[in-house]
Structure 1
Amino acid sequence: MMDFQHEPGRYFLQQNDKTVAEITYTTINNGQTYAINATNVDPSLRGQGIAAKLLDTVVAEAHDKHISIKAVCPYVQKAFANNPAKYQKIEYKP
């Protein structure tokens, strides 16, 4: 299991005190929406599904907090478009 962390503006994964994966966002609409700006994974870890797991963490926490998501990041736009059933529980704003 990945130990993703959250602080205002980003969800991330650290290994050896280095951020190796992160999703960054801006809070908009008076805190009711996360505008996801970027998804980054260290090249040495790509292809392992880390970005998808990180996105799932963001989506689950946003859902629990009744926060919608605006997908600005191309990775998130593609993930939402390719998996509508998986992400139907979150209000998605393209």
Structure 2
Amino acid sequence: MDFTYYPNRIALLDGSGQAIAEITFPDLDGNTVDINHTFVDESLRGQGMAGKLMEAAVDQIQSQGKKAVPTCSYAVKWFEKHPEYNKLVK
């Protein structure tokens, strides 16, 4: 999967540069981000794309030494299903 990485955003872009899947996690402060949005285009649903975005975001957040506050409903449920990442949640 060729995600495009931005500060506080990871996206999968189509051929015209439009995001067809993305996750955003803006800074709340210098040590904490808010996982506040996930989006997956209908054409990609049912393929585990949102989970792949979450894994990429978690990797990026961990590598920066930050904690996360999940406010997006998908992120909240994802963390409930993946307790191995509880140490990342603030």
- In structure 2, stretches of 5+ residues that fail to align are none
Q: Which runs of 4+ in 1 moved over 3 A?
A: none
Q: Could you state the TM-score of these two structures normalised by the residue count of structure 1?
A: 0.86
Query: Which deviations, in whole Å up to 9, do the C-alpha atoms of 1:38-90 show, x marking residues without a partner?
Result: 100001100101110111011011111101111010000000011212x24x4
Give the match for residue 22 of structure 1. Answer: 22
Q: Within 1, Cα distance between the matches of 2:42 and 2:76?
A: 21
Q: Within 2, Cα distance between the matches of 1:82 and 1:9?
A: 23
Q: Secondary structure of the residue that 2:53 maps to in structure 1?
A: helix
Amino acid at match of 1:18: Q
Give the match for residue 88 of structure 2. Answer: 91
Give the match for residue 2 of structure 2. Answer: 3
Report the Cα offset of residue 9 of structure 1: 3.4
Give the structure with the larger helix fraction.
2
Aligned Cα root-mean-square deviation (Å): 1.3
Amino acid at match of 1:84: P
**Alignment identity in percent?**
38
Equivalenced residue count is: 89
Residues 3-82 of structure 1: pairs in structure 2 closer than 5 A: 3-16=2-15, 17-29=17-29, 31-82=30-81
Give the structure with the larger strand fraction.
1
Q: Secondary structure of the residue that 1:48 maps to in structure 2?
A: coil
- In structure 1, stretches of 5+ residues that fail to align are none
Q: Could you state the TM-score of these two structures normalised by the residue count of structure 2?
A: 0.90
